[in-house]
Structure 1
Amino acid sequence: MKIKNNNIVLIGFMGVGKGTVARALSKNLKTMNLDCDDLIESSANMKIKDIFSTYGETYFRNLEKTLAKFLASSVRNAIISTGGGFIHAKDIKKIGTTIYLKSSFDAIITRMQNSENSEKKFAKRPLLKDPNKARELFNSRVEMYEKKADITINVENKTPKQIVKEIKKALSLKDKN
């Protein structure tokens, strides 16, 4: 498969492991890794939870849209991990080949609870504060992730190394080691 702009864009619900997989994939392919949430925090000079509490979700989504336009026009040869709601940015398909990291809601929550920095992971995701609302949000986004994805990889109960191997196989990529 030809990779658009030589960029691989990881999409999926918050906490599914997009950042972890992006770092592993970028190391394996010896290419740059960009985290959209980190880029937004850097440009706004605020943590995401503070952007949400100070300016609200609409403001944050506008920052994502601006970032999507920048990535589509200016970034090449990168692995890009997105925030869970980044799929709302209409330019996402122009950025690169989108890979949906698919998992059930319960598996995502269990993964986050079992991580060594669990409290930090939950604290930086304001939309996970209310588990019932978070599940509703998850359910409302699944179809969108599937529609925006060029490739879907089921990540439940898999290590980052296993996921990287599946992504590379789906993209017909060879190791650069």
Structure 2
Amino acid sequence: MNPASGLPRNIVLIGFMGCGKTTIGRILARMLGCPFVDLDLLIEQKAGMPISRIFSERGEAYFRLVEAAVLHELAAPGPPRIISTGGGIITRRRSRTLLKQLGYVVWLQAPVDTILERTGRNRDRPLLETDDPAARIQALLDQRMPLYRASADLEIDTAGLDPEETACGILESARYHFAH
């Protein structure tokens, strides 16, 4: 399938770290034959350093400013893309507005134990550098859940789901969304 016959606009994946945004995003991009954009990688390129270093040297507020600027750049007209965002993208009002302008927003979610299992091997998660990562995840989820919900056109719990099947479901939902 080529992008022209696929979607008129982007599919944007939001959700907490470890919920499958990158994995499912790459599958969707392959299925549609369109570009996959990892917002975190673009931020690292723009800042000239890894996200963990941005957080340690410049702080989360600076990171969110760069994140919003990169998101704004993606809002420019272009071919349909699959866009994977960072887990905290929804914490800024302007970013939430831009997400909706970009296209069909899908909130991928998972329970705390699944997130811990998926992120436990990755030491490059600045927000989880704490004595109790489970409590930190739960606190962030509690804080962000209403923002994810308000930003999303579709919500999917990815725990126990096959990524390929999840991608197929997202694609069908997006086609229906764009058709109506």
Using structure 1 for the length normalisation, give the TM-score.
0.86
One of 55, 60, 72 as aligned partner of 2:58? 55
How far residue 18 of structure 1 moved from its aligned partner, in angstroms, is: 0.4
Q: How does 1:44-83 map to 2 (within 5 A)?
A: 44-83=47-86
Aligned to 1:104: 111
Instruction: Work out the number of aligned pairs and report it.
Output: 164
How far residue 75 of structure 1 moved from its aligned partner, in angstroms, is: 3.9
Relative distance call for 1:151 and 1:128 in structure 2 (3 A) is: same
How far residue 151 of structure 1 moved from its aligned partner, in angstroms, is: 1.1
Q: How does 1:127-146 map to 2 (within 5 A)?
A: 127-130=127-130, 131=133, 132-146=135-149
Amino acid at match of 1:167: I
**Stretches of structure 1 lacking an aligned partner (at least 5 in a row):** none
State the 4+ residue runs in structure 1 displaced beyond 6 angstroms.
Answer: none
Q: Which moved more, 1:45-54 or 1:153-162?
A: 153-162
- 1:19 matched to 2:22? The reply is yes
**Contact 2:25/2:84 (<8 A) preserved:** yes
Q: Tell me, what secondary structure is at the counterpart of 1:152?
A: strand
Amino acid at match of 1:104: P
Using structure 2 for the length normalisation, give the TM-score.
0.84
One of 150, 162, 172 as aligned partner of 2:175? 172
Relative distance call for 1:4 and 1:147 in structure 2 (3 A) is: farther
